[in-house]
Structure formats: structure tokens, C-alpha cells
Structure 1
């Protein structure tokens, strides 16, 4: 008969150490997994909830500051202007500012009230990170504050849309260019690819309500493609996309594809109506 196996104390200790190491490793992996899950929840849910709440409160505060919201400001059917985009609306000399000229190009009345509203918009320079307008996109059921600058901590991460420094203001000749998050922090531009030619975009300020009509989309370009926000917007990476004549433009930019910042997309529109408050 064979003698029963003998397990030495050293072998027992090695097995115990191995079990403890495996158990400790498993605990570390579970802890790391929980932390990562919490980070994802914070980034994808909490930041959106918080930013949207802040943005909604800011929109309400601006409306209280201006008085009652302009009637039908989110409804493009109440705006006046040409019925088509091919009528040459929004064209003017590059040096011309003010929505009074923009309104006339769009077939609006050239009354002194309209001129004053455009002039006020052109002269006012918002403070850095100050929210001073409301962007409305009916197709996306979106109403979001517009603030000066595109700083992440001071503007975009608050759920706002940011105005590119050096581009024109609403209603001015040139390019009113904006940026917004595609994902997290309120993600106001998450569904920007859903916009189609002919959709309306409104920009409400203390002076007036400006209506732009979506005209063209650049689905993907380099983050360094500064041509998309020039006064006459045209991609420097894909030159077949953009414009060649001065006008009254709006540009919306965001990251693409979703959950990355590899590329940028741009949606362009033209000013088609202006209504003073």
C-alpha cells in the first residue's frame, strides 16, 4: 500500500498566499469596475441632467429680463420673409452690419424700428461667457442659451451653445457661428445631423428675433477647418462645401461621430426673416 500524501507547511502557505492574491486581485478589479461605472453614469447622465436644468433656467431668466417671449418665437410659421431660399436673401457687402440690412435682404420691412433692432444687435458686445440670446430649433425641440465664447468650463459644459469670438452677431452681415456639445453636458447638438434643408433656426435677443433657414450641411471635416466659420463660410479641407458670396449666415458646429472629437460637422443657414421685439 502507498503511504498517504504528505502536505508540507510550505506548500500550504504558498496556496494560501495564492488564494489571497487572487481574491485581492478580484476585489481590485470589482472596485475599478464600479468606479468606472460611476464615472460613466456621472458623465453620461448627471452632467446632462445638471446642464439641461441650468440651461432651462437661463432661458427662463433671459425671457424674464426681456419681458414676455416674442409671440411665436419658436414657431417659424409666424415669421415673415421670402418663401424660398433661392431668392437671394441674406446677401450684402462684407462690411455691412446690422439686421436692418439683413431684414431688407430677406424681404422684411425697412421700418426705422427694424433698423434700430439690427443696429442695437450689432453694437452690443456681450461679456465673455455671458448668455445673451436663445437659440431655437423646432425640428429638434431645442431652446438653449447662447453665450459669448466657446470655453468648455465657462460655456459649453453649462449646457449652453457658444458663440465663436470674432464671428458676427445675430442679424449681422457675415457669419454668426456657434458651437455646442454633441454628447454630455446637456448635449444640445446631439441630433444636429437630423437637420435638413429648409428647417428653421431662430435666434432671440433682447432687440429682435432672427430666423435662419438651413441651407447646407458638411457632415465631416477636420477640427482645424477654420474656413467653416469665416464671414463667407467655405471649408478649407473640402472646398466644394460652402459659399462664395457675402451674405447673412449662421453656422452650427459640433463633434462627430458621437462620443468622439475626431472630426467636426457644420450646418449652415441663411437669414430669412427678422422681427423686432
Structure 2
């Protein structure tokens, strides 16, 4: 028996159980802590004038075009489908039940508070989030990442900061656009079928009157947070695990699933708080 084997403490069943439980807890909390730290660092770097050099500004504009501008048609298409499936149905059935005064309250509680931010977050994760995983995974899994560092370029400022901020602004803009598109399309279908006699402005006024101060704060806050968290998760998954970035077939499914989970977690937490 060697000296190392003699000096090694034996682990009993209780200690083994506690060690396994501790490893599971640490493994579960590791990524949320990494994403939270990454988001905090992005928020701090966003207000530093030295951050916004020309390459960072160009990357920010490019990501705004990818995550925001190019996502407008698909966002409007999804808004029309949700408007027909939700807004029109709410107008029709509440009108049939003689409860038209509840239309604004129902749409505010379901569409504005829950559905719109989550759908936009899922679309960001599926479109721009997947592209981020591919791009950053390619950089991290090759020598380009070390080339950036050796050239005096901070990969965090060039690759992470513009993406997180662009996703956050895109999430805010697309969420507002989604709500407007769903309300207008749902009213148009209802008006075309003759089941809604109130004009468009009157209908929108009913919805706005049903929204309280927390609703006006919740909608942009969810859009910003969900967009930023989706980008932070994708960046952390690609840059925080070189072994995972080297295998895209493992990186993309894990990063995409984590981004979807983050969307639901952020939406639920903000809803609970507000």
C-alpha cells in the first residue's frame, strides 16, 4: 500500500452523498452566475467611452441589422398569426358572452405581459442566437481567438459587448412591434368578419386604458432583459467552453436550449416582481 493511499481520507456514504449534492448544485449555479457576471460586465463596459472604437461600433451596427432589421418580417408574420389566434378569438368570444369590457384586461394580461416578450425571445434565440453560436464558436475553436488577444484586441469588447447590447435593443423594438402587429391584425380580422363594431382607435384605447403602470414598465423591461440574456447565454456558451466550441454539433443544441430556458426564466421572474 502506497503512502498516498494511506494518507487519503476515506469517504463515507454520507460524505459521498453530500459531495454529490454539492457538485450538482455548483454545476447548476455555474452557468447562471457566469451569465450574470457577463451581463454585469457588459453593462459596465457600455458606459465606458474607450469601449466604442470603430470595430466595436461596426460590429454593433452589424448585429443590430441581423437581430433587429432582418427579423422585422418574421416578427410581423408571427404577430399576425398570434393576432388571429388570440386577439380575434378574445374579441369574438368575449363579445359573444357580452363581456366586451374585459377585452383590454385579457389582452393586457396575456398578450402584453407574457406572450409577446416570450415569442420575441424565442425568435431571437432561433435566428440571431444560433448565428452567434456559430460565429463565436468558430472563433473560439480556432486560432483566431488567440490572434485577437495577441494583437491587443479585447475579445470581450469586440465579440460580446456589441452583441448583448444589440440583442437587448432588438428585443425591445421587436416586442413593441409584435404587440402592435398582433392587436391591429386581430382587430382587422374581427372587423372583417363583422364581430367587432368598435373602431381601431377605440379598440387600442381600451387596451391602453387596461394597462397599469407596471404593464408599461414590464413590456420594455422584458424586451431588454430577454434580448440581453439570450445574447449573454449564447456568448457564454461559445466563449466560456473551448472544448464545446470546437464541436458545433454539441455547442448549438446546448446553447439554443439554454437560451430558450433563459427566456422563460427571465419572463417568469419579471412577471413575479412586477
Give TM class, smaller chain. under 0.3
More strand by share: 1
More helix by share: 2
TM-score (norm 2): 0.22
Larger Rg belongs to: 1
User: Relative CO higher for 1 or 2, CA cutoff 8 Å, sep ≥ 6?
Assistant: 2
